[in-house]
Amino acid sequence: MTDSSRYIDASNQFISVNGTRLAYRELGPRGGVPLVLLNHWGAVLDNFDPAIVDGLAATHHVIALNYRGIGLSDGSAPVTIDEMARDAIATIRALGFDQIDLMGFSLGGFVAQDITLKAPELVRKLILTGTGPAGGTGIARVGAVSWPLIIKSVLTMRDPKTYLFFAGTKTGRAAAKVFLARLTERKADRDKGPSPRAFLRQLAAIKAWGLQDPQDLGRLRIPVLVANGDNDIMVPTANSHDMARRISGAELVIYPDAGHGGIFQYHDQFVPKALAFLAA
């Protein structure tokens, strides 16, 4: 294990989990409860926002995980959130941890909820961002909402996240540009992009999550922070309000003039909020 002070310098590391080699990166001071990060649909290790990871890693041991079948991780991408959660639990235990803090963005938030319900003793505190519950409003339509904007991104030669993660306002467009620049700061030893097959298999998992029966979020008896933009078109913001209502004592933060990537747009506010939540 190597120490690194910046996410863009953190080495690609690998661990064998149930016979499959999975990729991860870690940074920050060792000791205490580590913070595990889970990311969005089609995301590889280079899609974690360095501004957020570095901010959290200033005081926490942070571990960013790749899903099976994504980027440098071997295997076939799961088509259910259940499988992704089981993979993550096995990975966390293979890394030698019996308690973690957990933060999931979008698809990662689906997986984070499922991990916490499956292994409640494993998770101390939970941060859910740009995400929603099983059976949540509009989640089964993520593909239907996304494809036209993905096509638009091809036609306008822009990254799809410009349209999917940020509001179409002047503020939103400026935030998108700065965020996407951060994702290109790392030049060496980058992860490899998702294969089309993995991308589609993950989308199938998202749709199934949107169609499955709701989970009993009242079983979450740990501190939970929920954050999103006020106009998330991918995982509608109503889901953030819904989760916060259903989880006893959950704290809800909604950022104005922001979309799915609200935490990236407001990283300078989100990081102190997340650090205070983890320290409380």
- Check which CATH number belongs to the domain holding 110 and give it: 3.40.50.1820
pLDDT, residue 3, reads 52
- Mean pLDDT score, 70-76: 98
In a domain, 140, yes or no: yes
Task: Report percent pLDDT > 90 for the chain.
Answer: 98
pLDDT, residue 142, reads 97
In a domain, 239, yes or no: yes
In a domain, 213, yes or no: yes
Question: Residue 91 pLDDT more than 60?
Answer: yes
pLDDT band at 2 (very low <50, low <70, confident <90, very high): very low
Tens of pLDDT, residues 17-46: 999 999 999 999 999 999 999 999 999 999
pLDDT, residue 5, reads 85
H helix intervals, the chain? 50-57, 81-94, 107-118, 142-156, 161-164, 170-182, 196-211, 238-246, 262-265, 267-279
pLDDT, residue 49, reads 98
In a domain, 38, yes or no: yes
For 3-12, 62-71, 105-114, which range has the lowest pLDDT when averaged over its residues?
3-12
Count of domains forming the chain: 1
Tokens of residue 129, six digits: 């961002």
Tens of pLDDT, residues 220-263: 999 999 999 999 999 999 999 999 999 999 999 999 999 999 99
In a domain, 87, yes or no: yes
Nearest to 132 by CA among 259, 260, 242, 218: 242
pLDDT, residue 30, reads 95
Name the residue range of residue 146's domain: 7-279
Q: In what order do the strands lie in the sheet with 123-129?
A: 13-17, 20-27, 62-65, 35-38, 100-105, 123-129, 224-229, 251-255
In a domain, 206, yes or no: yes
Question: Residue 9 pLDDT more than 50?
Answer: yes
pLDDT, residue 45, reads 98
In a domain, 1, yes or no: no
Task: Report percent pLDDT > 70 for the chain.
Answer: 99
Tens of pLDDT, residues 140-164: 999 999 999 999 999 999 999 999 9
